[in-house]
Each structure stands twice: as structure tokens, then as C-alpha cells.
């Protein structure tokens, strides 16, 4: 199975060496690694190019966008630019430039995909450093495949219509994979080191965008409020709850185009409510 990985990278000179080193040291080498330098103003492009000159399976592309930190849309557009230049593949990855993979990462991933024909998405478990220890980055359930390490089977990726360009892309993709009958798996034995904890650069404006994303995923107002409450609690900021709910209501009034169809939205709501009720069981 041919593996192609795309890494959108914006001003990642501090981390990208460690990231690419972890790719080079894999026990099973990926077939293609495309680094998309997304309008960096530091030496990200130069560092990545040095690796490309030493390893034939690494390529570096320049993508002109903006220097603004725009969660969701910016990274997906850079990924899609890389996808336009990708060769044929069976397994496609969207990875961040600030992660370090264990040496057996792709060997293990390949085994998972080859042993389960229903598997549509797979990943390891993300950890962050606290003191001298690497601990689980507790911002999502351990069975949720996180944005920095997305790995898709081609059939799944094509069935769900690629990635949505905006905040929430890394939630709706998992839900659509399951809607189309694919399984998703997090191998908790694989510790992925996240060098920059999630949340870097987020603002109140971004939480309005998160509320808009909940609308785009057909959550419904009650589910959206519960999701917003969870986000605000994790961020320890009640005001972010109001920002997210405002974003949802604003999108509803403007009738912003959805990420999913009404039928897919009904599945998502049913899936989310089932998960909530299971957590409430004694």
C-alpha cells in the first residue's frame, strides 16, 4: 500500500527538523512526503529543502497565502495544494510539522490498514510535555483521531469528499467516515509527541468560528450549547461559551452553507447523543 503524507507548514523552523527526523528514522518508510511551505517568513522552506535534497521521497512546495493564523481554513487549503501535486496513493496523511513520531509508526499503521478492510482512518495518541514527562493531551477523547496525525484510506477519503475548508474539518471527517460505514481507530500504544500544545494562537474570534462549525455540522442548538460548554470548560473561560454560541446563532441567521447534508446531520446528532447518554450511565 503506497503511503503519501502531506505536511502544511507555516513558520515551523523551531520544530520541523525534529518532525522530519522522525520520518527519516521510520522502520517502514513512507513513499512520498510533501512539505507545503505555507507562506512562511522564517527558514521553514530552507530546512525542509535540505531534507528533500538528501531524501528522494521528500518534496517541498511553496504555497502563497497569508501570514495570518487562521485555524482550519488555512491549513486545509495548504493541504489541498499539496494534494494537487501528490502521486498515486493508497493511504493519505495530513500531518502537522510540530510532531515527533515513534519509529514504528507507519509500520504499525500499515498493519492496521492491511488487516482490516473496513478501516478508514487511523492514528496514534498525541502527548504533550509537562515537566520531564510526556502526558496525554487531554482535549479530546482517546478514540478521536486528532488533526495533527490524520491518516486516511483512499476509499474513505474519496467517499467523504475530501476535507472541509474551515474550523471543524478534523471533527466532521471522522463523523463522515463513520457515516459511510468505515471504522476509525486510535492505537493508544503509539505515543506521538506534540511539541506545541493545541490552542496556540486561538482567540475569541476563533471560538465564534467553532460555533459556526457546529452549525455547519448540523449539531442543532442543544448539542451545540453542550459542545460549547465543554470547550469553555476546557479553556477555563465562560466567555468562550458565549462566543461559540454567538457564532452558531450568527451562522444560523445568515444561513451559512453546511459541511454535511441533512441526512448526514441526522446521523451526526444521533451519534453524538448516543455518546452523551453512554457517558451518563452509572
Alpha carbon distance 135, 128 (integer Å): 5
Q: Which of 135, 161, 194 is the last residue of a domain?
A: 194
Per-residue pLDDT for 90 more than 70?
A: yes
Angstrom distance (rounded) from CA 78 to CA 97: 13
Is 149 part of any domain?
Answer: yes
Query: Does residue 199 fall inside a structural domain?
Result: no
Residue 174 lies in a domain: yes
Domain count along the chain: 2
Q: How confident is the model at residue 204 (pLDDT cuts 50, 70, 90)?
A: low
Residues 159 and 266 in one domain: no
**Model confidence at 198: pLDDT above 60:** yes
15 has pLDDT over 50 = yes
What's the angle, vertex CA 265, arms to CA 89 and CA 255, rounded to 5? Answer: 105
Q: Which of these, 259, 280, 38, lies nearest to 163 by C-alpha position?
A: 259
pLDDT recorded at residue 201? 45
Give the domain range for residue 123: 3-194
pLDDT in tens, 232-250: 887 788 888 999 999 999 9
- DSSP class per residue in the chain: --EEEEEEESS-TTTHHHHHHHHHT-SS--SEEEEEEES-SSSHHHHHHHHHHH-TTEEEEEE---SS--TTHHHHHHHHHHHHT----SEEEEE-SSEE--TTHHHHHHHHHHH-TTEEEEEEEEEEEETTEEEE--SS-TTS--TTEEEEEHHHHHHTTS--SSTTHHHHHHHHHHHTT-EEEEEEEEEEEESS-TTTT--HHHHHHHHHHHHHTT--HHHHHHHHHHHHHHHT-HHHHHHHHHHHHHHHHHTPPPSS-HHHHHHHHHHHHHHHHHHH--
One domain, residues 77 and 160 = yes
**Alpha carbons 183 and 179: distance in angstroms, whole number:** 9
Are residue 186 and residue 257 in the same domain, yes or no?
Answer: no
Is 70 exceeded by the pLDDT of residue 203? no
Instruction: Clarify whether residues 112 and 251 are in a common domain.
Output: no
Instruction: Answer with the one of 194, 226, 254 that is the final residue of a domain.
Output: 194
Residue 51 pLDDT more than 60? Answer: yes
Amino acid at each position: 500500500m503506497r503511503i503519501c503524507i502531506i505536511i502544511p507548514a507555516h513558520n515551523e523552523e523551531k520544530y520541523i527538523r525534529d518532525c522530519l527526523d522522525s520520518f527519516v528514522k521510520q522502520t517502514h518508510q513512507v513513499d512520498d512526503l510533501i512539505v507545503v511551505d505555507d507562506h512562511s517568513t522564517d527558514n521553514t522552506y530552507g530546512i525542509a529543502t535540505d531534507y528533500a535534497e538528501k531524501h528522494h521521497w521528500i518534496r517541498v512546495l511553496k504555497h502563497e497565502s497569508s501570514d495570518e493564523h487562521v485555524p482550519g481554513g488555512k491549513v486545509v487549503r495548504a493541504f489541498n495544494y499539496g494534494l494537487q501535486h501528490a502521486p498515486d496513493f493508497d493511504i493519505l496523511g495530513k500531518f502537522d510539522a510540530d510532531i515527533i513520531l515513534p519509529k514504528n509508526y507507519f509500520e504499525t499503521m500499515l498493519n492496521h490498514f492491511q488487516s482490516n478492510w473496513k478501516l478508514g482512518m487511523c492514528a496514534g495518541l498525541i502527548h504533550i510535555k509537562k515537566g520531564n514527562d510526556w502526558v496525554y493531551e487531554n482535549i479530546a477523547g482517546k478514540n478521536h483521531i486528532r488533526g495533527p496525525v490524520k491518516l486516511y484510506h483512499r476509499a474513505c477519503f474519496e467517499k467523504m469528499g475530501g476535507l472541509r475548508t474551515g474550523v471543524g474539518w478534523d471533527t466532521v471527517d471522522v463523523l463522515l467516515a463513520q457515516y459511510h460505514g468505515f471504522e476509525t481507530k486510535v492505537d493508544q500504544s503509539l505515543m506521538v509527541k506534540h511539541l506545541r500544545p493545541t490552542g496556540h494562537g486561538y482567540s475569541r474570534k476563533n471560538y465564534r468560528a467553532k460555533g459556526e462549525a457546529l452549525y455547519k455540522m448540523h449539531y442543532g442548538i442543544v448539542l451545540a450549547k453542550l459542545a460549547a460548554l465543554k470547550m469553555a470548560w476546557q479553556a477555563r473561560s465562560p466567555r468562550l461559551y458565549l462566543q461559540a454560541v454567538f457564532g452558531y446563532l450568527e451562522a444560523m441567521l445568515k444561513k451559512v452553507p453546511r459541511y454535511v447534508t441533512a441526512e448526514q446531520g441526522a446521523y451526526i446528532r444521533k451519534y453524538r447523543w448516543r455518546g452523551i447518554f453512554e457517558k451518563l450511565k452509572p
